[in-house]
Amino acid sequence: MARPRLTALVESLPAFVPFVGPEAQERARGRPFRARLGANESIFGPSPHAIAAMREAAEGNWMYADPESFDLRQAIARFHGVGIENIVIGEGIDGLLGLVVKLVVEPGSAVVTSNGAYPTFNFHVAGGAGRLERVAYRDDREDLDALADAAERTDARILYVCNPDNPMGSFWPAEALRQLIGRLPDGVLLCLDEAYCDTAPSAELLPIDVTNPGVLRFRTFSKAYGLAGARIGYAVGEAGLIRQFEKIRNHYGINRVGQIGALAALEDQEYLASAVARIARARDRIGEIALGSGLAPLPSAANFVTIDCGRDGAFARRVLDGLLQRDVFARMPSVAPLDRCIRISCGRDEDLAVFAQALPLALAAAG
Amino acid sequence: MARPRLTALVESLPAFVPFVGPEAQERARGRPFRARLGANESIFGPSPHAIAAMREAAEGNWMYADPESFDLRQAIARFHGVGIENIVIGEGIDGLLGLVVKLVVEPGSAVVTSNGAYPTFNFHVAGGAGRLERVAYRDDREDLDALADAAERTDARILYVCNPDNPMGSFWPAEALRQLIGRLPDGVLLCLDEAYCDTAPSAELLPIDVTNPGVLRFRTFSKAYGLAGARIGYAVGEAGLIRQFEKIRNHYGINRVGQIGALAALEDQEYLASAVARIARARDRIGEIALGSGLAPLPSAANFVTIDCGRDGAFARRVLDGLLQRDVFARMPSVAPLDRCIRISCGRDEDLAVFAQALPLALAAAG
C-alpha cells in the first residue's frame, strides 16, 4: 500500500491548471452562460461540409485513425506548398508544444517567452523542467528585439512567439519576423504559434520556409476553422526536425472524427473566408460596444478583441467578474500591465448583444 | 539556419514506430484489405446510441470539450463505484502510459515488463529515459512471480502487466493478481493495462481498490466498446495519485465527439453485452478455422485469438505475410517464443470468412 515514488520534478510542480473551462464555472454557478465568449472558439462553427463529414464518420469510429494522418497531412502540405514530410499533426497546438519541449529542453534549459503570453506553453515548459525567461510586452505587443536579446543572453533552447498574439490580439507582419529570424542566435528554436493567423491580413503573413530548421510554425483547426473540439493542430517545419516528433509522439493519439473533419474544413476555403469575414465584423462590433462604454478596444488580428478597461488589474478583474455574473463567459490576461484588459471572443450578433447589455452594468458595478 | 539542439535523450532514441497502421500498408500495396483483423478494434462497432450521440455532437465541435471531462468521469466513477477524483481521462491508454512514465520514471529508473508485451509502453519508457527490464513469458502468460522478483531486484518504478494479455490473450484471475500485489516491493507502481477486460470473465476480474496508491488500472473505449477512433481511455486509482496527472496532462487534449460517444457507449451496457457475446462467438470461430488448418488456437479472454503456427518465428512471419497478401490485415508477436504465433482480431462472419479462405493458402505458401 506504499505510494509510488514520483519524480523530483513532478513533486516540485504546482497543481496548476492553465485554464479552467466554462463548464466548471457553469457547474459552480449552477447555471449556464448565455454567451460563450472566453475561449476564442469560433461560434460560427466549421464548414457545413466538415459537419457532414464528421457525422458520416461517426459510424466508422470503431477504427483507429491512420496514425500517419496521411490524407490530412497531404492536404495540408499541398495547401502550404510543402512536402508531407514537413507536417506533423498533434492533439491541438497544445499537444505539439508539449512535444517540442520534450524534443529540445534539457533540465534547466532556458526558454524565452513574453510575460503574460500563453500559459499552456509555460505549463509544458515547467513540465519539461525548463527555466522560463519572461520578457515584458512593449506597447501591448511582443517585443521582438527584447525577445531575441533574451534568447541570446540566456542561450535559450526555445523562443516562443504568438502571432497574432494571444491575449493582446496584436500582429507582427512578415518583415518584423524576418528581422527577428535573421538575428536569432544559433541553436534556438523559434516556435511561432500562429493559431490565430487565419484572421490576420494574409498578405502580411510570413511565408513558410521549410528549409530553415530553426523555425517551427504551429497552426490549428481550433480557431477560424471552427473545430476546437476536434483537437487537430499541426506544425510545419524542416523535414529533419519534423521527423524527430516520431520518436516521442503518441502515434495513435489523434481521433478519427476530428481528423476527417479537419480535412473537410481545409478543403472548404470558401467557407473559411466567410467565417473570417464574420469574425472581422464581430471584431468591429465588439470595438463599438467597448467604445460605447468609454473603453478602448485594442487593434486585433485575431478572433477576439482585447479591451483596455483603463485602470488597473483589480478593476478589470471586477469588470470581468461582473460579466461572468451576467452570464457572459470571457477571460482576461493574468499579468500586469496586460491585466488592465478583458478579452472578448468574436461571436454572433445574439452573443454580442448579451455582452453589450452586460458590459455597462459590469462597469457600473466595478465602480 | 542552424539546427536546434535536441536533447541528448532524443538524439539517442531510434526513429521507432510501435505499430505501422493498416492504412500505410494499403498505400504500399496499392489496394485495400478485405478483412481488418489486425488492430483488435471491434468491427461490431459501438452502441447505436453512441453513434447517434457522436453524429449529434458534430455540429457542436466548434467548442472545446470540458477539460475536466466531468460528465464522462462522473459516469465512469459511478460505473466502478468510486469517486470522480479517482478517474483521469487520456487520449487512449497510450496517452496515459506516456503520462505515467513522466510521473514516476527518472532517467535510468528500472521499469519492468514482459518480453514481447505492449511495444507502445516500451516506446514511452524509452521516451522517458527509463531502463526496461524484460521478463520472459511462461507458458504464454505473463509470469507474475518472475515480474515481482524483477521489480524487487531492480528497484523498479513501474511494473507493467496487461490482463487479459496482449498479444497472447491469456488471463490471470483476481486471486493471482492479489498475490502479485501482496508481494510487490514498496515504491513500485503496478500499471495494470486492462484494455481487454470487458471480454474477460467478469466474475474473475480483480475488484477495483482505490485505497491502494500502488496500483493503477487502465481501461479504454477502444476495444469491446468499439470506439478505437475516439481515443478515450482512462485510469482508475487512488485520488492522490490521480491528482498528479493534472500537473502534466494536456488539459485540452480530449476531443469533444469522442468524449460524448464514450459516455453514450458506457451508458448502453446492454449493447456492450451483445458485442461481447458476438466477440465470444468470433473467438470460437477463429479457433475452429485454426484447428481446421491444423493449427492450435490459444485460449483467449480478449477480443482476438492468438494462433500457434507450430514452428518458429520465420515460419509464422511467412504465414502472416501470406495473409497480408491475401488481403487479411493481421499482426503477430515480435519476440521469440511468442513469435511462433499470429494474432487474429475478432470480426463478423464475413471478415472471418475471408480469413478462413486465406489461411490454408497462406500456410501452403509458407511451406
Q: Kindly give the confidence (pLDDT) of every residue in chain A, 367 residues in length, as a single tens digit, with 9 standing for 90 and above.
A: 678 999 999 999 987 777 889 999 999 999 999 999 999 999 999 999 999 999 999 999 999 999 999 999 999 999 999 999 999 999 999 999 999 999 999 999 999 999 999 999 999 999 999 999 999 999 999 999 999 999 999 999 999 999 999 999 999 999 999 999 999 999 999 999 999 999 999 999 999 999 999 999 999 999 999 999 999 999 999 999 999 999 999 999 999 999 999 999 999 999 999 999 999 999 999 999 999 999 999 999 999 999 999 999 999 999 999 999 999 999 999 999 999 999 999 999 999 999 999 999 999 999 8
Of A10, A23, A243, the CB nearest to B247: A10
Give SS3 for B294: coil
pLDDT in tens, B201-226: 999 999 999 999 999 999 999 999 99
What kind and span of H or E run contains B242? helix B239-244
Contact between B287 and B305 under an 8 Å Cβ cutoff? The reply is yes
Residue B123 reports pLDDT greater than 90: yes
Q: What is the pLDDT of residue B2?
A: 79
Of B23, B62, B231, the CB nearest to A46: B62
What kind and span of H or E run contains B176? helix B174-183
Residues in a beta bridge with B217: B192, B236
CB contact under 8 A, A246 and B17: yes
CB contact under 8 A, A60 and B213: no
Q: What is the pLDDT of residue A1?
A: 63
DSSP A93-159: HHHHHHHHHHHHPPTT-EEEEETTS-HHHHHHHHHTT-EEEEE--BTTB--HHHHHHHHHHHT-SEE
Compute, in degrees rounded to 10, the torsion defined by CA atoms B37, B42, B45, B47.
170
CB contact under 8 A, A98 and B250: yes
CB contact under 8 A, A211 and B105: no
Closest alpha carbon to B117 in B296, B338, B345, B342: B338
Q: What is the pLDDT of residue A267?
A: 98
Count how many Cα atoms sit within 13 Å of the Cα of residue B203 in the half-sphere of its side chain: 0
Minimum distance, in Å, between the CA of residue B14 and any CA atom of chain A: 7
**All three cell numbers of A136:** 515584458
Q: What is the pLDDT of residue B17?
A: 76
The DSSP secondary-structure symbol of A229 reads: G
Q: What is the pLDDT of residue A18?
A: 76
Give SS3 for B44: coil
Distance between CA atoms of B344 and B328, rounded to whole angstroms?
A: 9
pLDDT in tens, B143-188: 999 999 999 999 999 999 999 999 999 999 999 999 999 999 999 9
Give mean pLDDT, residues B29-46. 97
Distance between CA atoms of A41 and A326, rounded to whole angstroms?
A: 20
C-alpha A101, offset from chain centre: 16
**All three cell numbers of B132:** 526496461
Q: What is the pLDDT of residue A17?
A: 76
- Grid cell 512535444 in the structure block, residue: A99
pLDDT in tens, A254-286: 999 999 999 999 999 999 999 999 999 999 999
Read off φ and ψ for residue A343, nearest 5 degrees. -125, 125
Distance between CA atoms of B194 and B224, rounded to whole angstroms?
A: 11
Minimum distance, in Å, between the CA of residue A43 and any CA atom of chain B: 6
Closest alpha carbon to A229 in A241, A238, A220: A220
What kind and span of H or E run contains B23? helix B22-29
Q: Which residues of A touch B18 (CB under 8 A)?
A: 251
CB contact under 8 A, A257 and B258: yes
CB contact under 8 A, A24 and B66: yes
User: Omega into A32 within 30° of 0, i.e. cis?
Assistant: no
Q: Name the band, by pLDDT with cuts 50, 70 and 90, for residue B1.
A: low
Minimum distance, in Å, between the CA of residue B309 and any CA atom of chain A: 27
DSSP-derived pairing of the beta strands A189-193 and B158-162: unpaired
Read off φ and ψ for residue B278, nearest 5 degrees. -65, -35
**All three cell numbers of A114:** 513574453
CB contact under 8 A, A10 and B102: yes
- Helix crossing, A256-266 with A70-80: angle to 10°? 30
Contact between B181 and B149 under an 8 Å Cβ cutoff? The reply is no
Residues in a beta bridge with B296: B308
Give the chain B residue whose CA is nearest to the CA of A223: B62
Count how many Cα atoms sit within 13 Å of the Cα of residue A5 in the half-sphere of its side chain: 16
**All three cell numbers of B92:** 487512449
pLDDT in tens, B255-271: 999 999 999 999 999 99
- Which residue, among B61, B100, B102, B184, would best test binding to A if mutated, counting the most A CBs under 10 Å from its CB? B61
Of A7, A189, A243, the CB nearest to B15: A243
Give mean pLDDT, residues B59-71. 98
Minimum distance, in Å, between the CA of residue A85 and any CA atom of chain B: 14
Alpha-carbon torsion (B173, B124, A192, A17), positive or negative = positive
B203 burial type by CB count under 10 A (0-12 exposed, 13-18 middle, 19+ buried): exposed
Q: pTM for the complete prediction?
A: 0.97
Give mean pLDDT, residues B85-113. 98
